[in-house]
């Protein structure tokens, strides 16, 4: 029997408690690498021992039925509902079904019977809209558990709260890193100009993005930064489309690196041959287009190269997560971001509070970040120690500003105040009291950091700064 980790047992206990309180539909939320498959397989195993009937829906059946997977380790032998299997044993106690296959057969009597008789339903990668139709078919008496690392819906997608009652999230990425269950990421980013790239289906147009990367010869930056930070380490590269993946693969090969390309249009034999090569290559570089985001587990990956931008937080988390597995010799991994993804979505390892409801997209400016002066790793602005090289940042002592009474100041006193360096709080008060304009204060400032803090305390978005900086001398130096 597999020994559960403490947080895995905690998650199961939380779901069981909610079931006792009458909740039927649960989101099991745990980061990539936390062992979601182990958790729900454990629950299926216990349900089968109690004589209950179980169904697992997935869109990655190959991963679940592999000989060394969780189902095999729990000695579970389910009946498979997939395109090539049409002779279904209706007396079976456990099923694994391809979501698309089941939906095509849902009106047949034998499949109606199966669905009406299940007691426990597991939905793997439950954030995907693929499963919306299935959820309407499940009887109200069944317990439904949806497993996902990224319970999030955006834009016109149907809200998760329409289908699910409660979300369980007992552990964060950083918790798993601290416990040694996930590798420590070292993040490096290169700013990419994405202006003019249209959005399609809620994300950047892949063709336009590929053309931009090709025009700018961004692959040169990939090669240069790979050489600088993590040369010789096994890497996976995510491109925006097949043409872009083939191009970066060709350029890596020209530079002397062992790179191969894989995509969904290749036949299964060729794809498996490339993946077997990559698994056996300690310094291999695998180029692909979204194909290896979910359902692909290769712990030896040490570098994740984002040769694309994405507006999708789930996709960003899934891509980076491919490098997060730990091994006996691997405790850290590298992220090379060539699409402003870290600025847009924040660092991969940051804590995130997921919700069944849609959240408004954060607008205005980019995530406050800073570069390590020693190794140029990308860090949050509040970081005191660089995880990549150990550089310690000096703590800036806050100086108490003299208190100035701002009521009923004469124009001369106002001018004297805004001419003085510092006194940021007082200048903010003057603006809020409409005794002085923002631009009058900024025109008198010569210190860039002081001006940024002034704008921040006013509550202006960072985007305002970037739009108006050209008008003020403090930003010209």
Q: How far is CA 67 from CA 77, 86, 266, in A?
A: 11, 22, 24
If DSSP codes are grouped into helix, strand and coil, which group holds residue 216? Answer: coil
Q: Identify the architecture of domain 175-380 in CATH.
A: 3-Layer(aba) Sandwich (3.40)
What's the pLDDT score for residue 142?
A: 97
What's the pLDDT score for residue 405?
A: 41
Encoded tokens for 379: 């860090």
Question: What whole-number distance in Å separates Cα of residue 49 and Cα of residue 265?
Answer: 41
Q: Which fold would CATH assign to domain 6-171?
A: Rossmann fold (3.40.50)
Which residues, other chains included, contact 335 with Cβ-Cβ below 8 Å and sequence gap of 6+?
185, 186, 187, 188, 303, 304, 306, 320, 323, 342, 348
What's the pLDDT score for residue 407?
A: 46
Encoded tokens for 249: 């693969």
Contact in structure between 289 and 241 (CB atoms under 8 Å): yes
What's the pLDDT score for residue 176?
A: 95
Strand partners, 169: none
Q: Judging by beta carbons within 10 Å of its beta carbon (0-12, 13-18, 19+), is residue 221 exposed, middle or buried?
A: middle
106-128 in b/e form (b: 16+ CB < 10 A) is: eeeeebeebbeebbbbbbbbbbb
pLDDT < 70 regions, the chain: 1, 61-69, 295, 360-367, 396-421, 423-427, 429-436, 439-448, 454-455, 457-458, 461-477
Contact in structure between 238 and 309 (CB atoms under 8 Å): no
Q: What pTM was estimated for this model as a whole? A: 0.77
> For 211-267, how does the pLDDT look when each residue is reduced to its tens digit (9 = 90+)?
999 999 999 999 999 999 999 999 999 999 999 999 999 999 999 999 999 998 999
If DSSP codes are grouped into helix, strand and coil, which group holds residue 456? Answer: helix
Q: How far is CA 245 from CA 89, 219, 262, 322, in A?
A: 43, 10, 8, 17
Domain boundaries, the chain: 6-171, 175-380, 411-475
Which residues, other chains included, contact 157 with Cβ-Cβ below 8 Å and sequence gap of 6+?
129
What's the pLDDT score for residue 409?
A: 54
In the block, tokens 């010789």 appear at 232
Same fold, 6-171 and 175-380: yes
What's the pLDDT score for residue 473?
A: 59
Measured from the Cβ of residue 431, the count of other Cβ atoms closer than 10 Å reads 18
Question: What whole-number distance in Å separates Cα of residue 423 and Cα of residue 400?
Answer: 9
């Amino acid at each position: 029997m597999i020994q559960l980790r403490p947080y895995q047992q905690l998650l199961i206990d939380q779901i069981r408690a909610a079931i006792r309180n009458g909740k039927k539909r649960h989101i099991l939320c745990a980061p990539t690498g936390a062992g979601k498959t182990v958790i729900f397989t454990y629950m299926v195993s216990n349900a089968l021992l109690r004589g209950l009937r179980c169904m697992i829906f997935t869109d990655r059946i190959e991963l679940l039925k592999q000989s060394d997977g969780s189902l095999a380790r729990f000695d579970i032998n389910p009946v498979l509902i997939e395109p090539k299997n049409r002779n279904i044993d209706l007396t079976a106690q456990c099923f694994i079904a391809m979501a698309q296959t089941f939906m095509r057969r849902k009106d047949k009597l034998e499949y109606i019977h199966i669905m009406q008789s299940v007691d426990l339903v597991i939905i793997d990668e439950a954030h995907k809209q693929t499963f919306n139709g299935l959820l309407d078919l499940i009887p109200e008496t069944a317990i439904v558990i949806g497993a996902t690392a990224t319970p999030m819906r955006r834009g016109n997608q149907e809200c998760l709260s329409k289908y699910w009652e409660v979300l369980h999230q007992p552990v964060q990425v950083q918790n798993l890193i601290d416990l040694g269950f996930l590798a420590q990421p070292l993040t490096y980013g290169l700013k990419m100009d994405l202006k003019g790239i249209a959005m399609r289906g809620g994300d950047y147009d892949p063709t336009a993005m590929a053309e931009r990367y090709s025009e700018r010869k961004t692959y040169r930056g990939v090669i240069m930064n790979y050489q600088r930070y993590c040369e010789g380490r096994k890497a996976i590269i995510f491109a925006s489309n097949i043409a872009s993946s083939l191009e970066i693969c060709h350029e890596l090969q020209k530079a002397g690196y062992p790179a191969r390309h894989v995509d969904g249009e290749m036949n299964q034999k060729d794809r498996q041959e490339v993946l077997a090569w990559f698994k056996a290559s300690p310094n291999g570089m695998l180029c692909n287009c979204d194909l290896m985001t979910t359902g692909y587990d290769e712990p030896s990956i040490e570098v994740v190269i984002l040769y694309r931008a994405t507006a999708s937080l789930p996709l960003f988390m899934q891509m980076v997560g491919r490098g997060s597995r730990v091994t006996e010799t691997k405790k850290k991994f590298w992220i090379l971001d060539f699409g402003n993804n870290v600025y847009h979505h924040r660092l991969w390892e940051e804590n995130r509070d997921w919700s069944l409801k849609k959240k408004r997209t954060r607008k205005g400016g980019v995530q406050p970040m800073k570069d390590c002066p020693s190794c140029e790793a990308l860090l949050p602005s509040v970081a005191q120690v660089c995880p990549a090289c150990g550089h310690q940042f000096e703590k800036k002592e806050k100086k108490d500003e003299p208190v100035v009474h701002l009521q009923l100041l004469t124009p001369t006193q106002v001018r004297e105040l805004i001419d003085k360096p510092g006194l940021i709080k007082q200048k903010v008060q003057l603006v809020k009291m409409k005794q002085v304009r923002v631009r009058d204060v900024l025109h008198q400032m010569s210190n860039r950091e002081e001006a940024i803090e002034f704008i921040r305390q006013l509550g202006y978005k960072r985007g305002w700064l970037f739009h108006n900086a050209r008008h003020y001398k403090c930003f010209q130096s």
